[in-house]
Structure 1
Amino acid sequence: MPMILLIVIIGAAAGFLATRLMKVQTDVPTTIAIGVVGSVIGWVILRVLVAVTGYVAMFVGAVLGAVLLLWLWQRYRNK
């Protein structure tokens, strides 16, 4: 299935659900456009959140690793 067709189908479904959840009456082309543009916006937001939390997780892991290393160093340095 070509990617553009998949985007239109998913966009139509997303637009339909969004207009029903928000209780907005629109015609079919507007519903599809809302769904396609909304899915692109949602995709970008999710990509940014994943990237940011990935960096935050890496930083937290680095701090925890450094703390563990310092704890081990202090514990066994005098022995």
Structure 2
Amino acid sequence: MLAIRLPAELETRLEALARATGRTKTFYVREAITAHLEDLEDFYLADQRLADLRAGATQTVALEDVLKRYDLED
């Protein structure tokens, strides 16, 4: 269970969409979260990896080395 407060304009738009389509507001909120959650996870993972790189906690690997290691060279 999740309860959220939306700005009035967003709530109005969501209600209008639900009425126009015969779907529930919950349906559209679930769809929006599903569509964007993976992008958000990817963004925060990349941000953490960049912070680790800048802090010297991790190193990069040259693309050529990766291709060679996994036998992906042309």
Q: Given the two structures, how large is their TM-score scaled by the length of structure 1?
A: 0.45
Which protein has greater RCO, CA pairs closer than 8 Å, 6+ apart?
A: 1
